[in-house]
Amino acid sequence: IYSGRGAKHQRKQWRLFLSILREHEQRKMDQQAATANRQGAGEAEAVLDGTEGLLEILLRIKDDAGLELPITLEGVKCVLYDIFGAGSETSTKTVEWAMAEMMKNPEVMKKAQSEVREVLQGKSKTSRVITEEDISGLKYLKLVIKETLRMHAPAPLLLPRESRESFEMMGYHVPARATILVNAWAIARDPQYWDDPLVFKPERFEGSSISFNGSCFEYIPFGAGRRVCPGIWFGLANIELPLAQLLYYFDWKLPAGVQPHNLDMSEAFGVTIGRKDSLLLHPTPARIIINPSGPPRPSAS
């Protein structure tokens, strides 16, 4: 029997979330007023624009009277909830799968780690934050992520669709308003489209035109068409940046008694696919080498 506790708890969360947004909105208004009094309205807007985050941008758009479809504070709340609700779990699981696949395939780990440490030389204790600009040169890491998303699509059945009218497909009659699920997981492992589909091989995407945008239907981890995931690049940034940090600053080992070839890769099925058992690894801070001809960098050992 549904007691209503879940709905009550969710309403409490929504109220808390909305109160936080109102606090940010009030803080923004106070900052604008204070800065305008000191420097003039034009300069105040420029100062604020230079330090805007996602929330500040959404609040600014909300105040735009020229919008054809106005955004309310309730709308801002829903957008943020969707971004972090849909983006955090899928990105976290993809990072975990990428680490698991690299631990199972040590040659891939070695190649990816060597690239990261070569490209990101100089990110020492005085400069620990790896930026999106740093990520642009990590070509092999991007292949690793692309292959991870092929074998472990965040949402294996994507999001449900509904047919607008009845039609025939491959001998099957699909009635109007039928719920349709696309098995992206199975398509990405189909030997009809992929050589050695069960082998983790990032090099398969080297020089390939296959992209994340859904234009190649054999590879649709983010969906395709007009309903393609709007958070593709946000999600990729949330995968690339943590992975680069993990590979640059740490060396990794499996627990005692576990060898790469017998690392359990069983999946736990759900709306998103995660590992059946959590990935347990031993991190060791990378040893910093002082290079007389250049900045300090971690060793590739």
pLDDT at 107 over 90: yes
Instruction: Say what the pLDDT of residue 44 is.
Output: 47
User: Which residues neighbour 158 within 8 Å (Cβ) at sequence distance 6 or greater?
Assistant: 181, 182, 184, 220, 223
Give the residue, 91 or 132, on which the prediction is more confident. Answer: 91
Q: What is the pLDDT of residues 194-245, one digit of tens each?
A: 999 999 999 999 999 999 988 899 999 999 988 888 889 889 999 999 999 9
Instruction: Say what the pLDDT of residue 68 is.
Output: 83
How would you class 222 by CB atoms within 10 Å of its CB: exposed for 0-12, middle for 13-18, buried for 19 or more? buried
Q: What is the pLDDT of residues 8-50, one digit of tens each?
A: 877 887 888 888 888 888 887 887 788 777 765 554 454 444 5
pLDDT at 184 over 80: yes
Mean pLDDT calculated for residue range 273-298: 75
Instruction: Say what the pLDDT of residue 75 is.
Output: 86
Q: In the chain, what's the furthest Cα-to-Cα distance? A: 72
Give the residue, 186 or 67, on which the prediction is more confident. Answer: 186
DSSP character string of 72-91: -HHHHHHHHHHHHHHHHHHH
Q: Tell me the HSE value of 111 on the side-chain side, using a 13 A CA sphere.
A: 14
Give the residue, 271 or 174, on which the prediction is more confident. Answer: 174
pLDDT at 1 over 50: no
Q: Which residue has the tokens 């990428």?
A: 98
Residue ranges at the known binding site: 229
Interatomic CA distance for residues 34 and 151, integer angstroms:
52
Instruction: Say what the pLDDT of residue 279 is.
Output: 97
Q: pLDDT over 90 for what percent of the chain? A: 52
pLDDT band at 54 (very low <50, low <70, confident <90, very high): confident
* Cβ contact 125:189 at 8 Å: no
Instruction: Say what the pLDDT of residue 93 is.
Output: 94
Mean pLDDT calculated for residue range 51-55: 73
Q: What is the pLDDT of residues 135-170, one digit of tens each?
A: 999 999 999 999 999 999 989 999 899 999 999 999
* Cβ contact 272:158 at 8 Å: no
Residue ranges at the known binding site for heme: 229
Quote the radius of gyration of the chain (alpha carbons, Å). Answer: 23
Q: What is the pLDDT of residues 79-101, one digit of tens each?
A: 887 777 777 889 999 999 999 99
